[in-house]
Amino acid sequence: MGLTVTTLWWLGHNAVASLERHGLSLGFGFLKQPANFAIGDTAWLSFSPENTVGRAILVGFLNTALISALGCVLAIALGFFVGVLRLSPNPAVGGLARAGVEVMRNTPLLLLLLLLAASLHGLPPAERALHPAPGVFLSDRGLILPEIRVSGLTVWLGAATLATVLLRRALGRLGWRVAAMAAVASVASLVVRPPVVGVARLDGFNFAGGTTLSPEFAALLAALVLHQSAHISEVVRGAIVAVPRGQRDAARALGLSRFQVLRLVTVPLALRAMVPLLATNCVSLIKNSSLAVAVGFPDVVSVLNTVGNQTGHNLETMLMMMVLYLSLSFAVAGALNRYNTALLARGAPAR
Amino acid sequence: MTAMIGVRRSFATPLNTALTMVVVSVVAVLAIPLARWAVLDATWSGTAQDCRAASGACWVFVGHKASFILFGLYPAAERWRPESALLALLGLIVMTGMPRCWNRWLPVAWAAGLATAWGLMRGVGGLPVVATQEWGGLPVTIMLTAVGLGLGFPLGVALALGRRSRYAVPRAIARTLVEVVRGVPLIAVLYLAVLVFPLALPPAITLDKLLLVQAAVALFASAYLAEAVRSGLQMVPQGRMDAASALGLGWWPAMRLVILPEALRIVIPSFISIAVGFFQDTSLIVIVGLFDLLNTARLAAQDPAWLGFSTEAFVFVGAIYFCGSALLSRYGRWLEHRMAAARRGSEATR
């Protein structure tokens, strides 16, 4: 105890001394200084070098949030698909899925990321872009996809639907009804103001219309999704295999069809076992998104690192990085604990 | 025979036949260009010009750069030193894998082997000194993994015991350390070790970057190992401790002789999967500018004389990572089967 305190004091004392030697002071005042560096990819917020350091970090954070959200959704979707494929009684299907999973699980994520980034940068220029599907282009500018623009009305109604679903407890018995009404209204708004689909076309040396994913973003997203989905597919497979055979047999004996057994018995039981592991997989995807540094995608770690190197406030930026990731991990851990408690309250299967 | 069953199952029903055909066509669409790239159109001998003329992979480049990718910037005349260090490390790892060698001499062998490997790489006893900045490639990857796990293991056991301590202070320290390290990405820990930790030392002490990174990897490993050990400790029935106390053993002897051996045995499979993860994760040291296997491959591909062959370099190191990880996982499964068989055996005699 005494030793720990003494060591910590000694380290802290040295840190303060070396900061003084470099003419630096502790504090977060540097967040208000102009950033003086550009950020290539920005989601939602615009950014220019005259903006403050604080805004730069916020832009980086939004980039991390965007790639993590997209990555988690896509990785879970692909992981489910591959996990189910692996259970196929058809050896060809199962074997192909297994080969893919083995390659992903036995090579480092960073290797995949660097390989994808190098291949994307090695793609032909825009005027000779690969054109694998209508509206989809692959060139050294990145991945260009069709853009679906929904009206503002739909966005608001969709947000309202989500809010009512989340707040259904507070709304009491009316909760689901309100949510259903909001959902119907948002679907109706799609008919009243139909979404516009913007397809990219070549305009000179670049593309006009559509959404562009920069090569860095596309490489990072693809690498994260491919790598994590391999791990998720194992979780999915394990959870489905772990559903006791007797449960399925009993459901069949009650006269449920194969599809009903899957929908009403196997999937709900498997999901219960899966959710905590899916959440930890999402957390590790979010932590892995910090590999953005290696390909130059401006995520929060990369921006904080740039800021630390430029201003010399490495201590503060590191602190921000740690707090950010720790609060995320703790939030997920807390949510999982609540989920498990709720599950026990509802009567989880006896183990 | 099993192949025949597999083929029959693939065509059991019309739906299965259709699925098999889909898979076969997908494989064909992927595999034919891949085979053309990797084998048929590939360049196996010649120069960079020959490679550029051909449309396939440039294996000449890999052959030409293999030594650099495997051993990095280490002076060419002294390559026998990292080579023998690598052999020593691999020998130690193979030895660690054999249950027959699990005795008190194993740590001694590791200490001796590591000292030899380090002495060879660094240069002692008249050998020219090679600074750690020039170390690179496979020996660095293997050393970071093995030493990181080796040092992380006792620390992890200590942290796991700390988390179950009767006293609040060690419990709090162990818990904070484990949760913080597990809650942040490895990159953050590496930055912390390389950028921030040196600030907290008096200016007279400058630590080697490789050493700092090695310490960070060991710390990171210890947190993950601690969680595995803790779950093993939880699985040991309370009766064991009671029985040990009844025999007159104190807390430490009971832990050392009864509880820990049983708990550690339970979690060997998780140790193996943690080891596979760390073998791959050491590649992240690219980001703090050290030259592990992945970084030397990246550098090799940036040689102006051989531009444009990064895929070949990555495929080469990817194959090394794949073999290492797959072998380790397979070993883990073998060990699990062996232990399950031993348990069944002991239950049968009971």
Q: Which two tokens stand for residue B333?
A: 């499964």
Query: What is the rounded average pLDDT of the residues B183-211?
Result: 85
Q: Å from A279 to nearest chain B CA?
A: 13
Bridge partners (DSSP) of residue A47 are none
| Residues of chain A contacting residue B329, judged by C-beta atoms under 8 Å apart | 105-106
Residue B10 half-sphere exposure, CB side, CA atoms within 13 Å? 17
Q: Å from B104 to nearest chain A CA?
A: 30
Determine the pLDDT at residue A259. Answer: 82
CA distances from A216 to A309, B47, B179, B323 (A): 22, 31, 31, 28
Q: Do B203 and A105 touch (CB under 8 A)?
A: no
- Domain-wise residue ranges, chain B: 62-349
Q: Which two tokens stand for residue B120?
A: 């060879």
Determine the pLDDT at residue B63. Answer: 83
| Residues of chain B contacting residue A329, judged by C-beta atoms under 8 Å apart | 179, 182-184
Domain membership flag for residue A199: no
Nearest CA in chain A to B4: A91
Q: Which of B2, B184, B205 should one mutate to test binding to chain A, selecting the residue with the greatest count of A CBs within 10 A?
A: B184
The model's pLDDT over B6-61, given as tens digits with 9 standing for 90+, comes to 777 777 777 778 888 888 888 888 888 888 887 777 778 777 777 777 777 888 88
Q: Which two tokens stand for residue B135?
A: 């170390």
The owner of tokens 């060990």 is: B335
- Confirm or reject contact between A132 and chain B (CB < 8 A): no
Q: Which two tokens stand for residue B133?
A: 């900045």
Inter-residue contact A238 to A272 (CB < 8 Å): no
Q: Å from A119 to nearest chain B CA?
A: 8
Could you give the CA distance from residue A283 to residue A267 in angstroms, rounded to a whole number? 23
Does the pLDDT value for residue A351 go beyond 60?
A: no
3-state secondary structure of B149: helix
Inter-residue contact A126 to A132 (CB < 8 Å): no
- Confirm or reject contact between B307 and chain A (CB < 8 A): no
Domain membership flag for residue A234: yes
CATH topology for B62-349 is MetI-like fold (1.10.3720)
Question: Which range among A99-113, A211-225, B47-61 shows the weakest confidence by mean pLDDT?
Answer: B47-61
Does the pLDDT value for residue A82 go beyond 80?
A: yes
- Confirm or reject contact between B202 and chain A (CB < 8 A): yes
Nearest to A294 among B6, B287, B329 (CB): B287
Nearest CA in chain A to B298: A114
The model's pLDDT over B216-233, given as tens digits with 9 standing for 90+, comes to 999 999 999 999 999 999
Could you give the CA distance from residue B177 to residue B304 in angstroms, rounded to a whole number? 45
Could you give the CA distance from residue A140 to residue A142 in angstroms, rounded to a whole number? 5
Q: Could you tell me the pLDDT band of residue A74, with boundaries at 50, 70 and 90? A: very high
- Confirm or reject contact between B76 and chain A (CB < 8 A): no
The model's pLDDT over B44-59, given as tens digits with 9 standing for 90+, comes to 877 777 777 777 788 8
Q: Which of A114, A302, A329 should one mutate to test binding to chain B, selecting the residue with the greatest count of B CBs within 10 A?
A: A114
The owner of tokens 């750690």 is: B132
Nearest by Cα to B87 from B142, B42, B24, B135 = B142
Q: Which structural domain, as residue segments, surrounds residue A268?
A: 32-110+225-346
Nearest by Cα to A11 from B167, B197, B13 = B197
Does the pLDDT value for residue A341 go beyond 90?
A: no
Could you give the CA distance from residue B12 to residue B8 in angstroms, rounded to a whole number? 6
Q: Which of B34, B175, B191 should one mutate to test binding to chain A, selecting the residue with the greatest count of A CBs within 10 A?
A: B191
Q: Which of residues 121-150 of B touch A (CB under 8 A)?
A: none
Q: Do A115 and B173 touch (CB under 8 A)?
A: no
| Residues of chain A contacting residue B318, judged by C-beta atoms under 8 Å apart | 107, 111, 115
Q: Which two tokens stand for residue A129?
A: 């872009």
Q: Do B203 and A287 touch (CB under 8 A)?
A: no
Q: Which two tokens stand for residue B141?
A: 């990857």
Domain membership flag for residue A164: no
| Residues of chain B contacting residue A19, judged by C-beta atoms under 8 Å apart | 199
Domain membership flag for residue A215: no
Q: Which of residues 317-336 of B touch A (CB under 8 A)?
A: 317-318, 321-322, 325-326, 329
Does the pLDDT value for residue A301 go beyond 80?
A: yes
Question: Which range among A67-76, A191-200, A222-231 shows the weakest confidence by mean pLDDT?
Answer: A191-200
Does the pLDDT value for residue A232 go beyond 80?
A: yes
Nearest by Cα to A291 from B294, B134, B90, B216 = B294
A75 Cα distance to chain centroid: 8
Nearest-10 crossing angle of helices A109-121, A215-242: 140
- Confirm or reject contact between A314 and chain B (CB < 8 A): yes
Rg (C-alpha) for chain B, rounded Å, is 25
| Residues of chain A contacting residue B308, judged by C-beta atoms under 8 Å apart | 122
Nearest by Cα to B164 from B153, B152, B177, B174 = B174
Inter-residue contact A228 to A288 (CB < 8 Å): yes
| Residues of chain B contacting residue A119, judged by C-beta atoms under 8 Å apart | 311
Query: What is the rounded average pLDDT of the residues B198-205?
Result: 78
In chain A, how many domains are there? 1
Q: Which two tokens stand for residue B284?
A: 């992240």
Nearest CA in chain A to B311: A115
Query: What is the rounded average pLDDT of the residues A273-278?
Result: 85
Query: What is the rounded average pLDDT of the residues A69-77?
Result: 92
Query: What is the rounded average pLDDT of the residues B307-312?
Result: 82
Determine the pLDDT at residue A31. Answer: 77
The full length of chain B comes to 350
- Confirm or reject contact between B188 and chain A (CB < 8 A): yes
CA distances from B186 to A126, A156, A315, B181, B288 (A): 37, 39, 17, 8, 11
Domain membership flag for residue A85: yes
Long-range contacts at A265-271 (CB < 8 A, ≥ 24 apart): A266/A240, A269/A243, A269/A349, A270/A236, A270/A239, A270/A240, A270/A242, A270/A243, A271/A239
Does the pLDDT value for residue B349 go beyond 70?
A: no
Could you give the CA distance from residue A167 to residue B87 in angstroms, rounded to a whole number? 62
3-state secondary structure of A196: strand
Determine the pLDDT at residue A1. Answer: 65
The contacts of residue B77 (CB under 8 Å, 6+ apart) are none
Q: Residue A257 carries which DSSP code?
A: -
Q: Could you tell me the pLDDT band of residue B348, with boundaries at 50, 70 and 90? A: low
Determine the pLDDT at residue B347. Answer: 67
Q: Å from B12 to nearest chain A CA?
A: 9
- Our CA angle for B310, B316, B318, nearest 5°, is 100
- Our CA angle for A122, A124, A126, nearest 5°, is 130
Domain membership flag for residue A3: no
* Average pLDDT of every residue of chain A: 83
Inter-residue contact B61 to B48 (CB < 8 Å): yes
Query: What is the rounded average pLDDT of the residues A266-280?
Result: 85
Task: Return the top range by mean pLDDT from A39-43, B6-10, B175-179, B300-304.
Answer: B175-179
Q: Could you tell me the pLDDT band of residue A140, with boundaries at 50, 70 and 90? A: confident
Does the pLDDT value for residue B2 go beyond 70?
A: no
Domain membership flag for residue A334: yes
Q: Do B180 and A326 touch (CB under 8 A)?
A: yes
Nearest by Cα to A56 from B272, A27, A64, A137 = A64
Q: Residue A52 carries which DSSP code?
A: B
Count of CB atoms within 10 A of residue B137's CB?
A: 27
Q: Which two tokens stand for residue A227?
A: 């790598």
Determine the pLDDT at residue A350. Answer: 45
Q: Which of residues 52-111 of A touch B (CB under 8 A)?
A: 88-93, 96, 102-103, 105-111
Bridge partners (DSSP) of residue A206 are A203
- Confirm or reject contact between B308 and chain A (CB < 8 A): yes
Nearest to B202 among A14, A290, A308 (CB): A14
CA distances from B123 to A92, B131, B163, B232 (A): 54, 9, 41, 41
Nearest-10 crossing angle of helices A215-242, A53-86: 40
Query: What is the rounded average pLDDT of the residues A161-174?
Result: 75
Q: Å from A265 to nearest chain B CA?
A: 24
The model's pLDDT over B134-174, given as tens digits with 9 standing for 90+, comes to 888 888 899 899 989 989 999 999 999 999 888 888 899 99
Q: Which of residues 192-231 of A touch B (CB under 8 A)?
A: none
Q: Which of residues 22-51 of A touch B (CB under 8 A)?
A: none
Domain membership flag for residue A259: yes
- Confirm or reject contact between B287 and chain A (CB < 8 A): yes
DSSP assignment of B171-200 equals HHHHHHHHHHHHHS-HHHHHHIIIIIGGGG
Q: Å from B1 to nearest chain A CA?
A: 14
| Residues of chain A contacting residue B199, judged by C-beta atoms under 8 Å apart | 14-15, 18-19, 314-315
Pairing label, strands A211-213, A206-208? unpaired
- Confirm or reject contact between B165 and chain A (CB < 8 A): no
Question: Which range among A111-120, A187-196, B62-71 shows the weakest confidence by mean pLDDT?
Answer: A187-196
What's the CATH number where A313 sits? 1.10.3720.10
Amino acid at residue number B136: G
Determine the pLDDT at residue B275. Answer: 92
Q: Å from A93 to nearest chain B CA?
A: 6
Could you give the CA distance from residue A117 to residue B178 in angstroms, rounded to a whole number? 33
| Residues of chain B contacting residue A111, judged by C-beta atoms under 8 Å apart | 283, 294, 314, 317-318, 321
